[in-house]
Amino acid sequence: MTKEKIKVVLDGKERELPVIESTIGNPSIDIRKLGKYNYFTYDPGFTSTSACTSKITYVDGNKGELLYRGYPIEQLAEKCDYLDVSYLLMHGELPDQAQKTVYLKSIASHSLLHDQLNNIFGGFRRDAHPMAVMVGVVGSMSAFYFDNMDINDPNHRQISAQRLIAKIPTIAAWSYTYNLGLPFVYPKNEYDFGTNFLHMLFSRPYKDYEPNPIISKAFEKILILHADHEQNASTSTVRLVGSTGANPYACIAAGIASLWGPAHGGANEATLRMLTEIKDESRIKQYINRAKDKDDEFRLMGFGHRVYRNQDPRAIIMKETCHEVLDELGLNDDPIFKLAMKLEKIALEDEYFIEKKLYPNVDFYSGIVMRAIGIPFSMFTAVFALARTAGWVAHWNEMMMSDESKIGRPRQVYKGKTKRDIK
């Protein structure tokens, strides 16, 4: 819906550009016509560019608010489980009891991997990073599940989406057990989604994982908090790859690759490594000074966000969850947690962080919770990936349904040589 028109003067001529209103949040100037006037816009990192319209997730970075399909993240984390949320993201509404029963059955029936996929794992080095294995194995899924891969058929899209949501936890867990040289643990349908993943990660042939309701609830929260975050780098990657008509497994493999970077989903692992390196409260100032130094590439990991210029609401929930988990496990004196809280306090009182509006993000505390649960550092981003799969498939499906979608093809400002001849 257009609200008003923006007037721009190009080559001395006044041109009008429509404005697209949001249901909440800022309007966007529709610049699609600019190309006709031989002008493009320059926006590296897309800091001021809306690449699509979407009905899935809303982030208000100034207020520190996050809504999935209109529901506040705080309510979803408290009252729902991850599969409710994944259904909500995909379908727009929370499932009723009958819909949930069918959905759970479908996810459970898709959680096994094709037996030949085991051979793909075997091709990796034992010490490969689980994210590297995930990119490869998820990418290979199109070689196994091509029976329902017509991207223009809504039923096929739904089957592919459910296959991805159901199988990625199995792939993630196996990427790690493969690291350890241990046998793959198969999913068990009696467990809820999160507990099933912990079972596949921690059960051994000689001893089954013993679920703990507090840990299971905390883990579901981690999954819910990471399930979507509108047009972040990995979701934009999924949309860009999907815009070419690529199959869903290729799109999600690309999303996993994009997520791995330390500025994005790799931040939870990087935060924990940073806290371990800082080691002692007496060294915090030194690291804060490094983060502030323009000549030093070091950044305070788990701090700052492209959109939030206020508290990240996910970080607030994650910090509470951290208290609950450490309390349950009798780890209240955990030195890394204490160090993290001290670091947060010092940074939040520092002029540099205040002026730049840098707050802890979701990944500042999520790594501490995962470490307490026993999840190894190398699996932190894999957990993020399995959670974000719900958002990725919802965005991919939304893009496929939209009649405004076009192949993603940004322009550039050419700064190279002008035309010349080889002498």
Which spans of this chain sit near ligand CMC (rule: CB under 6 A)?
Answer: 45, 229, 232, 263-265, 267, 291, 299-306, 356, 358, 361-363
C-alpha closest to that of 266 among 129, 137, 124, 141: 129
If the CB atoms of residues 110 and 264 are measured against ligand CMC, the closer one turns out to be: 264
Question: Buried b / exposed e across 172-198, counting CB within 10 Å, b at 16+?
Answer: bbbbbbbbeeeeebebeeebbbbbbbb
Question: Which of 158/311 has CB closer to ligand CMC?
Answer: 311
The residue nearest ligand CMC at its CB is 304
226 catalytically annotated: no
Minimum Å distance from CB 236 to ligand CMC? 12
Alpha helices in 181-232 (DSSP H): 193-202, 213-225
Cβ proximity to ligand CMC, 45 vs 122, nearer residue: 45
Q: How far apart are CA 405 and CA 408, in angstroms?
A: 8
CB-nearer residue toward ligand CMC: 267 or 339: 267
Cβ atoms 274, 287 nearer than 8 A: yes
Residue closer to ligand CMC, measured from CB, 130 or 360: 360
Whole-angstrom Cα distance, residue 22 to residue 349?
Answer: 35
Q: ∠342-273-275 over CA atoms, to 5°?
A: 10
Residue 132 C-beta: closest distance to ligand CMC, Å: 18
Q: Tokens representing 323?
A: 């208290």
Residue 415 makes CB contacts below 8 A (sequence gap 6+) with none
Q: Which tokens go with 36?
A: 């006709």
Which residues does 244 contact at the CB level (< 8 Å), separation at least 6?
407, 408
User: Is 395 a residue of the active site?
Assistant: no
Task: Name the nearest CA neighbour of 175 among 133, 208, 144.
Answer: 133
At its nearest, how many Å lie between ligand CMC and the CB of residue 55?
20
* 156 vs 299, beta carbon nearer ligand CMC: 299
Nearest-10 Cα torsion for 219, 79, 75, 188: 30
Instruction: Assess contact for 135 and 124: CB atoms under 8 A.
Output: no
- How far the first Cα of the chain sits from its last, in Å, is 56
Closer to ligand CMC by CB, 66 or 218: give it. 66
Q: How far is the CB of 190 from ligand CMC (least distance, A)?
A: 33
CB of 111 to ligand CMC, least distance (A): 26
Q: Are 394 and 242 in contact (CB under 8 A)?
A: no
- Closest approach, Cβ 386 to ligand CMC, in A, equals 15
In the complex, minimum distance from the CB of residue 197 to ligand CMC, in angstroms, rounded to a whole number: 20
**Distance of closest approach, residue 73 Cβ to ligand CMC, in angstroms:** 13
Options 264, 312, 350, 395, the catalytic residue: 264
State the residue for tokens 């596949």. Answer: 200
Q: Give me the catalytic one of 305, 312, 350, 395.
A: 305
The DSSP-derived string for 83-94 is HHHHHHHHHSS-
- Sign of the alpha-carbon dihedral angle for 111, 72, 258, 223: negative
Q: What are phi and psi of 243, to 5 degrees?
A: -65, -15
264 is catalytic: yes
Q: Which is nearer to ligand CMC, 116 or 289 (CB)?
A: 289
CB 284 within 8 A of CB 342: yes
Enzyme catalytic residues: 264, 305, 363
